[in-house]
Amino acid sequence: MAIKEKIDFSTFTDRRSSKDLYANSVRKGLKYDAFGDQTKFQAIVISDPIPFSPQDLQFFTGDTGKLKEIWDNINNTTTQFSYRARIIGDNSPHSFLPDPCDSTYAADSEEALKIVAMHTLFVSNEEGGAANSVPRLGSKVEVELTKNVFGYNLQFGKHSKLVANPEPSTASAEACDTLVSAMASATGDPMWSYESGEESGGPPLDDPKVEEIYDAYIKKYGPDLAPPDGMCGNLPGYPLEKCKTGKIGSRTVTLHPIFFDKVKEKYDLVKAQNFGEKIDGGSSIRTVKTQISLRINNSQRAGNALSLNKMIAGRSKLCDPPTAPLPTKPGKGSRHIYGCAIDFRGILSHGGTVVARKSNSVARNSKTYKFLLAQQEEGFKNYSVEPWHWSVDGR
């Protein structure tokens, strides 16, 4: 086995450091990449493909007879189009995402659409393709991903070719009922992946990439900056205590006991105003490993291949959406790690994080947001960049 990393053996001068070297050699020896150099996969289309050219709408919509007429005419061609798809097969790069065809989401079209929006957006890059090569909801396609240091760019991918396209008359039977219903009832409102802030996606917490970054973090900064499992706090005025779990609206959240009570109080005040605007609990405490998983996912979405050090301590804006680094000093890092922040769902994140943060957004102009701003006090403050994010100190 070739040694690909320079090792300064003069640093291994005692028993403890030699054990570190041994443990690292075992971890490296067991390191495994299930995909190798693979970049092409088969996938199922889970959203209606959208043409880039308005005149191409005829290839994607219309009655069965019209579509059959178009397909029979090989001179009809399309330009470019895009769709979201779920990669299938063993060890799918999408295996960590919920399946929108799961019967769990059959009764909730809105939830199914949000899950669809978490999946990779695939774009065709060839013009002049035959109309009968256009994929549709439920089609099997071949797609291509770009590989980077920590896996694949799962934000965007390339449509390679159509593998199997159901006939128009059987399209509904081929696609899952949840998606057929969701697409049929969808409005013109945008689908977004991050209604609850930055928390969505990422590899499992026992993934080797997560473990490697976590081990490097603990080795460099120690285990005491972030709360241990089951505990919240470790900030001024918020000592380490057992976390409190309960309902805020329809969502079960876990927060520091003092902050939980404050959030519940403010939520109840908003509901009592009867503004007619949706507000609900959202993402709450995150462990260090959860934050690492999110930074892996969201840095890939931003197209950034982060080094180990930048994955730990690099700026939030290296990720899409911005995702806070890990604590490197007492009191630093995301307030979610301490159980001292909450991302509200609903009107405060309307349109997703990119839209909601704008000065003229629906979120900022909502009665709910303006009311909560007037209710700010010590222990409950808004992070002004994000109308959905509230914490003990506005960070």
Residue closest to 348 by CA, chosen among 278, 284, 283, 271: 278
Let me know if 302 is exposed, middle or buried by CB neighbors in 10 A (0-12, 13-18, 19+): middle
Banded model confidence at residue 372, pLDDT cuts 50, 70, 90: very high
Domain ranges of the chain: 40-185, 208-391
Burial of 364 (C-beta count, 10 Å sphere; 0-12/13-18/19+): middle
Average predicted confidence (pLDDT) for the chain: 79
Q: Of 143, 123, 152, which Cα lies nearest the Cα of 40? A: 143
Q: What is the largest CA-CA distance in the chain?
A: 79
β-bridge pairing 50-51 and 231-232: unpaired
306 HSE (CA, 13 A, CB side): 28
Which of these ranges, 126-135, 198-207, 305-314, 337-346, has the smallest mean pLDDT?
126-135
Looking at residue 10, its pLDDT comes to: 63
Stretch among 120-129, 173-182, 267-276, 312-321 having the lowest mean pLDDT = 173-182
Cis check for the bond before 321: say yes or no (omega within 30 of 0). Answer: yes
Looking at the structure, give the CATH architecture of the domain made up of residues 208-391.
2-Layer Sandwich (3.30)
Structure confidence at residue 264 as a pLDDT band (50, 70, 90): very high
**What's this model's pTM, rounded to 2 decimal places?**
0.55
pLDDT of residue 175: 53
Encoded tokens for 32: 């495994």
Tell me the C-alpha distance between 349 and 365, whole Å.
12
